[in-house]
């Protein structure tokens, strides 16, 4: 039967939350002002509100604030544990498993040495600590194992928070630190489960150890396979009608709770399940990126400060004044910091990391937090630790987190990493600012004909190879007599082997969708429905213009209803085969619009991979100036025409120069040294076509904003004229209409 809190207990509970949140946020703000992570302030706020300060200054107020009733303290602990669970979900979202795999050897060696060295140091320290530290009746060996576990682990939540606040999460050493922190957490939970069993049973249980380890391995295997498929299916389902933030948040919370229940049942603590849930949610290509931002907002502003402040509430610093407790506390601190740093440093150097990276790893992995506090709490509840030992063990995270933040900041000062790492970071930064060429998955409707092969080639050249792609083939039922994505017979699927070969090195999957009719609107509807599931752009190839349509009924409908940018690729007139293996020169019109910028991104992406020369082009239209404000007789004079025309030309030149400089700067950010061309002509389209011929360009990339004119898509006279008349390969980046889809 549920026992509710009475009115007084509710008042105390809400007061506790208010005081903890205000104190933790204020202390965190103060720490950020002096260049330290806010988590240190959160931990310190808990110590101040605990028996060490608040309890000494106002004993009666402290007893009211933290009563001894289990139901009252249980409610506060529940809120704090929910905070650390959500914090680890966000850490899972930040973890890049692909990058960790690439750095696998370094991560494995750093993890191994950063665990083994402090574990050995902790065992020796545990055997040497005075009897005052050992709980009444506890076995000395079990006590030493608990001390070793507490000193050897790192806190993934604290590490992730420090790296994130210092802007180091995407650095190579940052990802190795997260990987090692994850492994530290996993091993730490296993050690806690095993050692707690030793303390309860009074003996070493081999069967219990095997049960825990095998259960964890089975959980991870199932979470990354069946769990991943279930999450993908759920997120895909809720996105069928478009972005659904509430639904995605519900899936995230349910996944976190489910994984937490499983790991808690295995005796490995629910927060590890929360971290794995974050990793699985982040791996789903149907995930909405806004989800993690909403979780972070709630966690960082409310729940995480409560958790970290709670960690310090049970710390009683007055116990360190008894006997040799303070000296031994210093020894424990020294072993914790030196052994962890030495282990991580040696592992990093053996993995071939630079000395600066090894120092940064040793500094970052020194951060402790939730797990060490849990180990101390379990040790205290089982009678393994005395109150003095508990206080010392809980102080370690506070000191080591300060050490980690300060030493890490010093270690990375004025150090940007290797050239390859700098290039990766710059590429990621440039991608994050792009409109179209981003890291989101690409969608390629294809029936493996030359037009879609051409689209696949341009897409492969323009987007980084790390960006995954989905090839979608839509086929009509056999009774309809028509199909898209078939080899000519209704209901049969195309062989996309050539498409996979074109996209070699890229993560590609193939979606096969069957519809009732092969009509263009139906096929386009199926593609649009797929596009709502978390893609960044659609690339489609076209062959020739159809009467009354831009290119085909399907492409017209796709342009009208697509919620994403659509890249239309039309092959050169004289090509019997798909696009060439490389382009020598690309013409890109510059107009200062969003669609023009999107076209530049595509051209710069092609240039970055193939070395294509990019010619940024702006056509200046020459017309007789309209001198409406000047008397007719004076306007006809040669002097007035020349003077007013020169003023207008000067203003136009300034605008053009500004546009071209902005475009060139954007190219420079991506490592492209673009050339500029400013031809004059009465017709923009004709001048562009002529410029492409004169420059011997084999690619023209244009931007277009879609409009609906009498039920058909309209890209603008200039774009459609270039598509019709230009003999080179043409790519059009069509930005979606407002409210499309």
Domain parsing of the chain, residue ranges = 93-303+321-423, 441-571, 582-729
pLDDT at 242: 67
Q: Is 294 helix (H, G, I), strand (E, B) or coil?
A: helix
368 token code pair? 């402790």
pLDDT at 205: 63
State the chain's maximal CA–CA distance in angstroms: 113
Which of 197-206, 469-478, 559-568, 659-668 shows the lowest per-residue confidence on average (mean pLDDT)?
Answer: 197-206
Other beta carbons within 10 angstroms of residue 256's beta carbon come to 27
pLDDT at 485: 40
444 or 487: which carries more pLDDT confidence?
A: 444
Query: What are the angstrom distances between the C-alpha of 29 and each of 25, 40, 162, 540, 733?
Result: 6, 10, 14, 50, 45
Asked if domains 93-303+321-423 and 582-729 share a fold, the reply is no
What is the rounded distance in angstroms from the CA atom of residue 539 to the CA atom of residue 598?
14
232 token code pair? 């993908």
Residue with tokens 């009924």: 553
pLDDT class of 161 with cuts at 50, 70, 90: confident
Question: What are the DSSP calls for 191-252, one per residue?
Answer: HHHHHHHHHHHSS--HHHHHHHHHHHHHHHHHIIIIIHHHHHHHHHHHTTTS--HHHHHHHH
Is the per-residue pLDDT at 716 higher than 50? yes
Q: Compute the average pLDDT of residues 59-85.
A: 81
Q: Which residues, 6 or more positions from 197, have their beta carbon under 8 angstroms from its beta carbon?
A: 205, 208, 209
DSSP state of 322: S
335 token code pair? 């072993």
Fold classification of 582-729 is Rossmann fold (3.40.50)
pLDDT at 368: 82
What is the rounded distance in angstroms from the CA atom of residue 355 to the CA atom of residue 558?
54
Q: Which residues pair with 585 in a beta bridge?
A: 613
Is the per-residue pLDDT at 289 higher than 80? no
pLDDT at 113: 94
What is the rounded distance in angstroms from the CA atom of residue 435 to the CA atom of residue 599?
10
Is the per-residue pLDDT at 490 higher than 50? no
Which H or E run contains 634? helix 632-635
Q: Which residues pair with 473 in a beta bridge?
A: 512
494 token code pair? 């195309």
Query: Phi and psi (nearest 5°) for 729?
Result: -65, 135
Each residue's pLDDT tens digit, 614-627: 999 999 876 544 44
Q: Is 368 helix (H, G, I), strand (E, B) or coil?
A: coil
Task: Determine what percent of the chain is predicted with pLDDT higher than 70.
Answer: 86
Is the per-residue pLDDT at 304 higher than 60? yes
261 or 158: which carries more pLDDT confidence?
A: 261
Fold classification of 93-303+321-423 is Na+/H+ antiporter like fold (1.20.1530)
Query: Phi and psi (nearest 5°) for 545?
Result: -80, 135
359 in Cβ contact with 345 (< 8 Å): yes
What value does the mean pLDDT of the chain take?
Answer: 82
H-only helix segments in 314-417: 325-350, 355-364, 370-381, 387-411
Name the residue among 140, 124, 42, 189 with its Cα closest to residue 334. Answer: 124
pLDDT class of 607 with cuts at 50, 70, 90: very high
161 or 681: which carries more pLDDT confidence?
A: 681
Is the per-residue pLDDT at 711 higher than 80? no
Return the ∠ at Cα 698 (arms to 697 and 702), rounded to 5°: 80
716 or 117: which carries more pLDDT confidence?
A: 117
Query: What are the angstrom distances between the C-alpha of 483 and each of 91, 455, 515, 516?
Result: 45, 20, 9, 10
406 token code pair? 């300060």
The dihedral built from the CA positions of residue 89, 93, 96 and 97, taken in this order, carries a sign that is positive
SS3 content of the chain, % helix, strand, coil (to 5): 60, 10, 30
90 or 281: which carries more pLDDT confidence?
A: 281
Residue with tokens 């009498």: 710
H-only helix segments in 95-171: 97-102, 104-128, 140-152, 156-165
Each residue's pLDDT tens digit, 323-381: 788 899 999 999 999 999 999 999 999 988 889 889 999 998 988 876 787 788 788 87
Q: Is 558 helix (H, G, I), strand (E, B) or coil?
A: helix
Is the per-residue pLDDT at 139 higher than 70? yes
Q: Compute the average pLDDT of residues 142-161.
A: 85
Is the per-residue pLDDT at 646 higher than 70? no
pLDDT at 486: 34
Each residue's pLDDT tens digit, 446-464: 887 888 888 999 999 999 8
Is the per-residue pLDDT at 602 higher than 90? yes
What is the rounded distance in angstroms from the CA atom of residue 173 to the CA atom of residue 184?
16
Q: Compute the average pLDDT of residues 135-145.
A: 85
Q: Is 738 helix (H, G, I), strand (E, B) or coil?
A: coil
**321-345 b/e with 16+ CB inside 10 Å = b?**
eeeebeebbeebbebbbebbbbbbb
Is the per-residue pLDDT at 476 higher than 80? no
The dihedral built from the CA positions of residue 195, 200, 202 and 206, taken in this order, carries a sign that is negative
Residues in the chain: 741
What is the rounded distance in angstroms from the CA atom of residue 421 to the CA atom of residue 173?
10
Residue with tokens 């341009």: 458
Is the per-residue pLDDT at 487 higher than 50? no
pLDDT class of 207 with cuts at 50, 70, 90: confident
Q: Is 637 left (phi over 0), alpha (psi -120 to 50) or beta?
A: beta
Give the CA radius of gyration of the chain: 32
593 or 2: which carries more pLDDT confidence?
A: 593
567 in Cβ contact with 540 (< 8 Å): yes
Q: Which residues, 6 or more positions from 8, have their beta carbon under 8 angstroms from its beta carbon?
A: none
Is the per-residue pLDDT at 492 higher than 70? no
Q: Compute the average pLDDT of residues 232-245.
A: 82
pLDDT at 3: 67
Residue with tokens 């109150």: 387
Is the per-residue pLDDT at 545 higher than 60? no
Highest mean pLDDT, choosing among 270-274, 297-301, 600-604: 600-604
Q: Compute the average pLDDT of residues 386-413.
A: 85
pLDDT at 706: 83
Is the per-residue pLDDT at 115 higher than 80? yes
Q: Is 171 helix (H, G, I), strand (E, B) or coil?
A: coil
Strand boundaries in 583-641, DSSP class E: 585-589, 613-617, 620-621
Q: Is 517 helix (H, G, I), strand (E, B) or coil?
A: coil
Task: Determine what percent of the chain is predicted with pLDDT higher than 90.
Answer: 27
Q: Compute the average pLDDT of residues 533-555.
A: 74
Query: Going by CATH, does the domain composed of 441-571 fall within 3.40.50.620?
Result: yes
Q: Compute the average pLDDT of residues 264-276.
A: 79
Q: Which residues, 6 or more positions from 393, have their beta carbon under 8 angstroms from its beta carbon?
A: 147, 150, 332, 372, 375, 376, 379, 385
Which H or E run contains 24? helix 7-33
pLDDT at 580: 54
Q: Compute the average pLDDT of residues 415-429.
A: 74
pLDDT class of 279 with cuts at 50, 70, 90: confident
Q: Compute the average pLDDT of residues 510-527.
A: 81
Highest mean pLDDT, choosing among 259-268, 436-445, 545-554: 436-445
CA dihedral 621, 622, 626, 632 (to 10 degrees): -170
564 in Cβ contact with 538 (< 8 Å): yes
pLDDT at 291: 87
pLDDT class of 296 with cuts at 50, 70, 90: confident
pLDDT at 345: 94
Q: Compute the average pLDDT of residues 50-56.
A: 89
């Amino acid at each position: 039967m549920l026992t509710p809190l009475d009115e007084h207990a509710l008042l105390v509970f809400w007061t506790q939350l208010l005081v903890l949140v205000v104190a933790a946020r204020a202390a965190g703000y103060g720490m950020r002002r002096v260049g330290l992570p806010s988590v240190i302030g959160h931990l310190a706020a808990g110590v101040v509100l605990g028996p060490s300060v608040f309890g000494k200054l106002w004993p009666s107020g402290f007893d009211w604030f933290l009563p001894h009733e289990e139901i009252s303290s249980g409610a506060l602990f529940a809120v704090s544990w929910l905070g650390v669970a959500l914090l680890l979900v966000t850490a899972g979202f930040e973890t890049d498993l692909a990058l960790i795999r690439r750095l696998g050897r370094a991560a494995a060696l750093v993890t191994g040495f950063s665990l083994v060295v402090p574990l050995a140091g902790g065992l020796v320290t545990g055997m040497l600590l005075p009897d005052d530290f050992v709980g009444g009746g506890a076995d000395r060996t079990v006590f030493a194992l608990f001390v070793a576990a507490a000193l050897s682990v790192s806190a993934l939540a604290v590490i992730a928070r420090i790296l994130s606040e210092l802007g180091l999460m995407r650095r190579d050493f940052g990802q190795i630190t997260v990987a090692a922190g994850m492994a530290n957490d996993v091993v730490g939970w296993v050690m806690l489960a095993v050692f707690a069993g030793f303390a309860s049973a009074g003996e070493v249980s081999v069967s219990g150890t095997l049960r825990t380890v095998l259960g964890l391995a089975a959980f991870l295997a199932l979470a990354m396979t069946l769990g991943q498929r279930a999450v993908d299916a759920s997120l895909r389902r809720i996105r069928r009608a478009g972005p659904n933030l509430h639904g995605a948040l519900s899936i995230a919370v349910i996944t976190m709770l489910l994984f937490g229940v499983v790991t808690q049942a295995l005796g490995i603590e629910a927060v590890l399940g929360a971290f794995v849930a974050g990793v699985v949610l982040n791996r789903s290509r149907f995930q909405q990126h806004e989800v993690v931002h909403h979780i972070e907002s709630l966690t960082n502003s409310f729940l995480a400060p409560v958790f970290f402040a709670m960690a310090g509430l049970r710390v009683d610093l007055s116990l360190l004044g008894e006997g040799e407790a303070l000296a031994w506390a210093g020894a424990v601190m020294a072993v914790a910091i030196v052994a962890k740093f030495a282990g991580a440093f040696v592992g990093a150097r053996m993995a071939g990391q630079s000395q600066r990276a090894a120092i940064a790893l040793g500094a970052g992995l020194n951060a402790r937090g939730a797990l060490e506090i849990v180990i101390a709490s379990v040790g205290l509840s089982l009678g393994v630790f005395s109150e003095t030992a508990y206080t010392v063990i809980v102080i370690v995270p506070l000191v080591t987190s300060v050490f980690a933040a300060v030493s890490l900041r010093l270690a990375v000062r004025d150090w940007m990493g290797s050239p390859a790492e700098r290039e990766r970071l710059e590429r990621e930064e440039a991608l994050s600012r792009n409109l179209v060429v981003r890291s989101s998955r690409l969608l390629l409707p294809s029936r493996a004909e030359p037009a879609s092969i051409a689209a696949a080639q341009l897409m492969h050249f323009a987007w980084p190879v790390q960006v995954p792609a989905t090839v979608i083939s839509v086929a009509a039922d056999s009774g309809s007599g028509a199909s898209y994505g078939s080899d000519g017979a209704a209901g049969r699927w195309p062989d996309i082997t050539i498409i996979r070969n074109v996209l070699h090195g890229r993560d590609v999957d193939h979606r096969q969708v069957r519809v009732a009719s092969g009509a263009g609107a139906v096929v386009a509807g199926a593609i649009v429905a797929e596009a709502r599931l978390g893609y960044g752009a659609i690339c489609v190839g076209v062959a020739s213009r159809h009467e009354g349509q831009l290119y085909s009924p399907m492409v017209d409908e796709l342009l009208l209803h697509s919620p994403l940018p659509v890249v239309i690729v039309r092959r050169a007139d004289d090509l019997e085969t798909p696009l060439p293996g490389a382009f020598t020169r690309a013409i890109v019109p510059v107009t200062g619009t969003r669609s023009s910028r999107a076209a530049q991104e595509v051209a710069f992406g092609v240039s970055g991979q193939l070395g294509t020369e990019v010619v940024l082009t702006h056509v200046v239209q020459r017309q007789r100036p309209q001198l409406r404000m000047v008397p007719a007789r004076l306007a006809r004079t040669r002097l007035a025409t020349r003077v007013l025309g020169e003023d207008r030309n000067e203003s136009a030149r300034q605008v053009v120069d500004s546009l071209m400089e902005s475009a060139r700067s954007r190219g420079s950010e991506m490592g492209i040294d673009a050339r500029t061309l400013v031809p004059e002509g009465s017709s923009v389209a004709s001048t562009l076509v002529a410029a492409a011929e004169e420059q011997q360009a084999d690619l023209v990339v244009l931007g277009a904003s879609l409009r609906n004119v009498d039920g058909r898509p309209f890209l603008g006279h200039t774009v459609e004229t270039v598509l019709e008349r230009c003999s080179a390969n043409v790519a059009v980046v069509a930005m979606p209409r407002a409210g499309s889809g």
